[in-house]
Structure 1
Amino acid sequence: MTKTVHFLTAAAAAAVLSACSAEPDTDRTDLETATTDGEAAALAGALEPGDFMDLQLGAKIVGPQGDEVTGTLANAEGNFADIRSFVACPAGMDVCDPKTAPKGTVYTYVHVVYPGEDNKEDTGSGDGNDSSDIEQATAFKMLRPAHGFTGAVGYSKAEAMAAIGPKADVVISCLDGALIWSVNPGTAGDQWEQAEPLTFYWQSTLPPAGPAPVYAIDANYTEAKGPGPYPEATAGYEAGCNAPSTAR
């Protein structure tokens, strides 16, 4: 999948700064300053990110695998990340059952992504991880439209700060109805790398139909995909993140 956000290299950034004879703005990350028409378009269309820590969630949906689904983001070269996902109802709902949930219930899809592995032998990649050490992960993304998307989306800002540093920036964009969380450390930041979990979320008015191989990570300059809870395409809800926001 083509990335919608392109990053400046350190050399390119230095050249721009030299040409302008200006001091770098240490309060802004690379993704907050567009230098091409493509970057400007991506930033203009970026979705406002929420903070996972601000969410108030109720009970989780319990499926055949329990209340959480674990898996691996992989390709022919090996395993590149573990992923642990769950879907929760709003706060106040002690049981989250789509069969009995009121019409209009908003479901929060949560994905915890561990580049490389989560050091647990019995989940995901675990001790059997056979990919290269993850030195740079640049995006978590969906490979199909986010059916029923409400417009509410975000990530754990505290985790991003801990993993990547104060210059970290995550730009959330939409491509063909699918969500993309592009991760950039900024010119002075660390990389999102091996065993640094980040939590991403999005909200939908549709419950999951089951795990589907529709999630992916861009890491070490390759794409690796795997399963996670995903809603079934439903008439009137197929547009994903291209649909008007209904977030409250």
Structure 2
Amino acid sequence: MTRLKNFAAPLACMVLAACGSSEPEPAPTPTPTVAAPRTLIGADLDLSTLGARIVGPQGAEIETALSNGTRQVGTLVSYVACPEGIETCNPGELPDDTVYTYVHKITLAEIDDVGADEAIDAPATGEAPPTLFRTTRKVSGFTQSVGYSTAEAEAALGDPDAISIINDNGNLIWRVARGPGWQPGGTVTLWWRSTMAPQGPAEAYLLEVDGEQIAATGPFPPEEKPVEGSAAR
């Protein structure tokens, strides 16, 4: 009997220890996953694939002066076109799966004498600032079709493959990655496609050149509607 008591004592301790550690561990806190920027393959601009343009309150295209506050850096001309074969681009009368092409033509201003002198006298500061054009909002309805005019890139940037395109969490970024740089007076046309027609002109674009960021206005689609039932109850 004594042996049984001696054996039962450590067994009871083991059972108590097991009971004490049986409480569930706290659930790990979920960590939000941030999508990494993705490089997109840009296609050449083929104007023959475009149909009629959307005509808004400002006409068939929107022209914006790109200014840094002291001088005009360039101009932005934007429009949205329906697919080839559509003679009147009225989104309200078209199927929901219609794909719209957003086109942006950017022309840098010519450098005047003062600008040229400043450029020559400016000290070297190492790596040149990036030159890019981007959306400042997530592109709704983006079809993954995007690109630029390679002929214009060769003329204005010195290389038909000078531009890299990135999708950064829904924002599209065209960056000058090759060539001698954007020549003053040079024009480059960029484009992308969406299943959503523009809501209207919006300050949803940004040009970065010579270390300066310049906000720009152009046609832009509305935000995507949340999926029904996904809202918190």
Q: Same fold (TM over 0.5)?
A: yes
CA 1:140–1:62: 2 relative to 1, 3 Å: same
For the Cα contact (< 8 Å) 2:150–2:161, is it kept in 1? no
Q: State the one-letter code of the partner of 1:56.
A: T
Q: Which runs of 5+ in 2 are unaligned?
A: 1-35, 120-128, 228-233
For 2:217, which of 202, 221, 227 is the aligned residue? 227
Residue 53 of structure 1, CA deviation: 2.6
Percent identity for Structure 1 against Structure 2 = 38
CA 1:55–1:146: 2 relative to 1, 3 Å: farther
For the Cα contact (< 8 Å) 1:115–1:137, is it kept in 2? no
Matched, 1:192 2:185: no
Structure with bigger gyration radius: 2
Residue 138 of structure 1, CA deviation: 1.3
Matching of residues 45-194 of structure 1 within 5 Å: 45-53=38-46, 56-116=49-109, 132=115, 138-166=131-159, 168-185=161-178, 189-194=179-184
Q: State the one-letter code of the partner of 2:74.
A: A
For the Cα contact (< 8 Å) 1:168–1:183, is it kept in 2? no
CA distance in 2 between partners of 1:179 and 1:80 (Å): 21
Which sits farther off after the overlay, 157-166 or 91-100? 157-166
For the Cα contact (< 8 Å) 2:150–2:160, is it kept in 1? no
Secondary structure at 1:99's aligned position in 2? helix
CA 1:55–1:216: 2 relative to 1, 3 Å: farther
Residue 190 of structure 1, CA deviation: 2.4
Aligned residues: 181
CA 1:56–1:214: 2 relative to 1, 3 Å: same
Which residue of the partner structure matches residue 205 of structure 2? 215
CA distance in 1 between partners of 2:48 and 2:105 (Å): 15
TM-score, structure 2 length as denominator?
A: 0.70
CA distance in 2 between partners of 1:137 and 1:72 (Å): 20
Q: Which runs of 5+ in 1 are unaligned?
A: 1-40, 118-128, 238-248
Residue 74 of structure 1, CA deviation: 3.0
TM-score, structure 1 length as denominator?
A: 0.66
CA root-mean-square deviation: 2.7
Matching of residues 226-245 of structure 1 within 5 Å: 226-236=216-226
